[in-house]
Structure formats: structure tokens, C-alpha cells
């Protein structure tokens, strides 16, 4: 059972994960000590497995059968394994909630899950990361949060879902707020993906009311088709307008259409989904390298 005491040992106090047992390992996160079972750390992290297997200089195993020398790092309150200063006690406790789950572990909030994920990634606890991802999937994460977590911790599921939100509407235009939160590198990736998809999925929709003649400015019927060209309907023309000419002066008609104007999809929903998945796969391979897993 975890000790409820706040007994002080030197300048550090014993926290809620300080368990009285000689089989356990002592950690110090900030000024708080935790004594926890060694087996779970070895199970979830090759880094800890290697650490506990390698003898330290001058060590002699004790007779307790614990496999931990009385002089080894982590063997006592006086010689704990110190958590790097870039991590907080809160983050370490959140990770321990996952490694040694209790009923409380099922109710961890978003902040606690993100904190646990930070240390799990640092110690390469792949199974723990997978479990945390499963938990966070039940929360209402925003697409931006998924993208940030996915890029920071190389989580494919979050990258796929985050990028999909921004590229599925191929007319997406990033805001300054998006850039400040996601970073310009991520915005650049989104824009490149979007532009490639726009060319594959959509074509320009030209409103007939936007047509103009350079010389006589005729419109609403002041144009004619060249041989071989056809208008899709009375409301719009899809594709190039280079063959349209003015009925009055026969000069080429132009339009105010730009890349920012309305575009319409030219592929089926199934083809659109396939093209998006192919684009996602291309980018994820670059971001994840050998960690990328094809869908």
C-alpha cells in the first residue's frame, strides 16, 4: 500500500507513490520521493530494463533477493533515481497512474494525460503511449491539439486526424491564430497538401456574370462559344474560358476569376477520400519515417 505519510527525509518529502517495500525503487521528482515496484518500469521501458541490469561501480548485491544493491541508485531515500529537472513531480505522478493503474486512473483529465504522455515518450514506453492515446481519443480534443501532440510525440493517429480536419475542405484558408498555435511549418505543410489536392479534386467554377469583354464590357449574353467548346449550364462553366469571345466585337472574353474564387469538386466522394489518404500517407512517411504504419 502507498504510504499516506508526508514524512520528511532530508529536504525531500515522501509522496503518495512512496511504497514501503524492499523490492521497490526510489525516485525523486523535484523534492518528492516515490518508492514504486521495479517490474512495471522494466516491463514498459527498455531504458529502465538496461539501467537495472547494468551493475554500478563498487556495487555488491544485498542478501534480500531484491536484485537491488544497497548502494545502487534508487535503493534508498538517500540515493534515489533523480528525475531530470525538465520534468515535474506532477508529470511523474501522472505517468505512475498509468504504470500502476488505480480506479483514479480511469478519470484522468486532459492535462494529466498530456503530462503522462510527455514522460512516456521520453522513456520510450510504447505500450504506455498507446494506452494514453486510447484514453485521449475519448476526450474532446481539438484538431489543433491532435496535430500538436502528433508532431511532438510522433503519434500517427493524431497526425492523421489533425491533418484531415484541415485538408478535407480543400478551400481551407489558415488564419493568423492557426499559425500562432500550430507554427508556420505546420501551416506550410497544410497549404502544400491542400494545393495538391485542389488540383486533383476540384476545378474552377466560373460564373457567367463575371465574364467581361476588354473592349465593350458586354456581359450577360455578350459572348459566344468557339467550335468544340460548351458551357456546362446557364449558371457556370467548368474549366478554361480561353475559347470564349465577345459577340459584339469578337475579342477574347476574360473573367475576374482567381485561385481564391469558387471551385467545385470533379471527383466522386470515394475518389476524394482515396486522394486525401494518399496525400496523408506521403506526408506522414516524411514526419514519422520508419514509425509510419500504412492504414
Write out the chain's pLDDT in tens, 295 residues: 444 445 555 678 878 777 655 578 899 999 999 999 888 888 888 888 777 776 654 454 544 444 455 567 888 899 999 999 999 999 999 999 888 877 766 788 899 999 999 999 999 999 999 989 988 878 889 999 999 999 999 999 999 999 999 998 867 788 899 999 999 999 999 999 988 888 888 766 655 555 555 566 544 455 444 433 333 333 344 444 444 566 666 665 554 444 445 666 777 888 888 999 999 999 999 999 988 888 7
247 CB-side CA count, 13 A: 9
What is the CATH number for 114?
A: 3.30.710.10
Considering the domain boundaries, does residue 34 fall inside one? yes
Considering the domain boundaries, does residue 212 fall inside one? no
Alpha helices in the chain (DSSP H): 38-44, 46-53, 89-99, 110-122, 126-137, 143-153, 156-167, 176-182, 184-201, 269-288
Considering the domain boundaries, does residue 231 fall inside one? no
The partner residues of 212 in beta bridges, in order of sequence, read: 254
Considering the domain boundaries, does residue 92 fall inside one? yes
Considering the domain boundaries, does residue 101 fall inside one? yes
Q: What are phi and psi of 224, to 5 degrees?
A: -145, 160
Alpha helices in 54-171 (DSSP H): 89-99, 110-122, 126-137, 143-153, 156-167
Q: Are 30 and 95 in contact (CB under 8 A)?
A: no
Specify the pLDDT at position 240.
47
Burial pattern 174-198, b for ≥16 Cβ within 10 A else e, equals beeebeeebeeebbebbeebbebbb
Considering the domain boundaries, does residue 66 fall inside one? yes
Considering the domain boundaries, does residue 293 fall inside one? no
Specify the pLDDT at position 206.
57
Burial pattern 199-214, b for ≥16 Cβ within 10 A else e, equals eebbbbbbebeebbbe
The total of structural domains in the chain comes to 1
Cell for 95? 505517468
Range of the domain at 93: 8-130
Considering the domain boundaries, does residue 240 fall inside one? no
Q: Are 284 and 160 in contact (CB under 8 A)?
A: yes
Amino acid at each position: 500500500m502507498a504510504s499516506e505519510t508526508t514524512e520528511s527525509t532530508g529536504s525531500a518529502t515522501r509522496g503518495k507513490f512512496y511504497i514501503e517495500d524492499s523490492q521497490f525503487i526510489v525516485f525523486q521528482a523535484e523534492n518528492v520521493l516515490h518508492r514504486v515496484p521495479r517490474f512495471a518500469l522494466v516491463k514498459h521501458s527498455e531504458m529502465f530494463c538496461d539501467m537495472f541490469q547494468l551493475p554500478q561501480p563498487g556495487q555488491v548485491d544485498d542478501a534480500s533477493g531484491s536484485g537491488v544493491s544497497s548502494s545502487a541508485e534508487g535503493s534508498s531515500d538517500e540515493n534515489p533515481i533523480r528525475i531530470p529537472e525538465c520534468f515535474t513531480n506532477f508529470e511523474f505522478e501522472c505517468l505512475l497512474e498509468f504504470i500502476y493503474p488505480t480506479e483514479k486512473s480511469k478519470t484522468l483529465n486532459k492535462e494529466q494525460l498530456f503530462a503522462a504522455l510527455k514522460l512516456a515518450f521520453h522513456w520510450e514506453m510504447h505500450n504506455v503511449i498507446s494506452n494514453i492515446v486510447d484514453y485521449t481519443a475519448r476526450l474532446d480534443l481539438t484538431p489543433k491539439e491532435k496535430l500538436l501532440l502528433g508532431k511532438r510525440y510522433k503519434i500517427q493517429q493524431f497526425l492523421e486526424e489533425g491533418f484531415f480536419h484541415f485538408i478535407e475542405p480543400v478551400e481551407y484558408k489558415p488564419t493568423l491564430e492557426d499559425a500562432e498555435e500550430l507554427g508556420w511549418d505546420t501551416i506550410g505543410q497544410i497549404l502544400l497538401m491542400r494545393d495538391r489536392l485542389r488540383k486533383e479534386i476540384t476545378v474552377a467554377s466560373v460564373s457567367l456574370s463575371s465574364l467581361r469583354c476588354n473592349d465593350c464590357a458586354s456581359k450577360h449574353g455578350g459572348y459566344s462559344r468557339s467550335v468544340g467548346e460548351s458551357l456546362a449550364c446557364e449558371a457556370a462553366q467548368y474549366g478554361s474560358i480561353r475559347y470564349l469571345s465577345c459577340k459584339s466585337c469578337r475579342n477574347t472574353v476574360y473573367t475576374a476569376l482567381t485561385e481564391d474564387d469558387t471551385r467545385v469538386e470533379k471527383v466522386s466522394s470515394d475518389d476524394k477520400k482515396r486522394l486525401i489518404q494518399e496525400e496523408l500517407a506521403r506526408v506522414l512517411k516524411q514526419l514519422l519515417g520508419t514509425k509510419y504504419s500504412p492504414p
